[in-house]
Amino acid sequence: MRVLVLYAHPVETSFQAALHARVVESLRSSGHDVDDCDLYAEDFDPRLTRAERLAYHDTAADRAAIQSYIDRLQAAEALILVFPIWNFGYPAILKGFFDRVFLPGVSFRMENGKVTPALSNIKRTAAVVTYGGNRIRALLLGDAPRKQVTRVLRAQTLGAKQDYLALYDLNRASAQKRERFLERVQTVMKGFG
């Protein structure tokens, strides 16, 4: 399976980096074709420009600045997001990826004023995320990242099978708890498909 891994963390020694490495290694060892998109390493610019916003609904507009990312998304059969929850949401670079790449004609179509999902090429999705706080705090605040992945992304991919792997309370997680989560991620990725 062709898997696009979107990774969003700037520190190569972080626990998130260890998760990212485990995801990629596990997928590759299981025979998947992995397109590893490290948004920071690739210096992805998350800023939606004025021109891009003005041409947002024009599917014939010049998308040269992001075309390679569109091509990678459209070539994928699966999409895995690996990111930390910061300020109760996506890191800015990942949010910017969605703003700039998940466009009309790419992730959805507008037909008579109605949104129709367009990522039918994506058959499987997963998110591997960490929260600094505990699950209760996330729930009390609505856990927007979980909803964005399990509802919005699922709708854009026409209900693709999905996993949401979350480690809550990372700030207080023991080495043993972190290792167990790494093992859980590895197990899911080895059975991914």
Cβ count within 10 A of residue 63? 19
Name, in order, each residue with C-beta under 8 angstroms of 89's C-beta and a sequence gap of 6 or more: 95, 144, 145
Whole-angstrom distance, CA of residue 46 vs CA of residue 69 = 12
Q: Return the CATH number at 153.
A: 3.40.50.360
For residues 17 and 182, give the distance between their C-alpha atoms in angstroms, rounded to a whole number: 11
Task: Give the structural domain span for 183.
Answer: 2-190
Contact 24, 83 (CB under 8 A): no
**Beta-strand runs (E) in 75-173:** 78-84, 108-111, 114-117, 124-130, 161-167
Tokens of 184: 């859980």
Give the gyration radius of the chain's Cα atoms. Answer: 17
In this prediction, residue 119 carries a pLDDT of 96
Residue ranges in the chain whose pLDDT is less than 70 = none
Which residues does 62 contact at the CB level (< 8 Å), separation at least 6? 55
How many independent structural domains does the chain possess? 1
pTM, two decimals, is: 0.96
| Residue among 79, 73, 70, 10 at smallest CA distance from 38 | 10
Rounded to whole angstroms, how far apart are CA atoms 191 and 2? Answer: 14
Amino acid at 133: G
pLDDT of amino acid 110: 87
The 10s digit of each residue's pLDDT in 108-137 is: 998 888 999 999 999 999 999 999 999 999
Tallying the residues shown for the chain, one arrives at 193
Tell me, what's the pLDDT at 111?
86
Cα separation, 174 vs 180, in Å, equals: 10
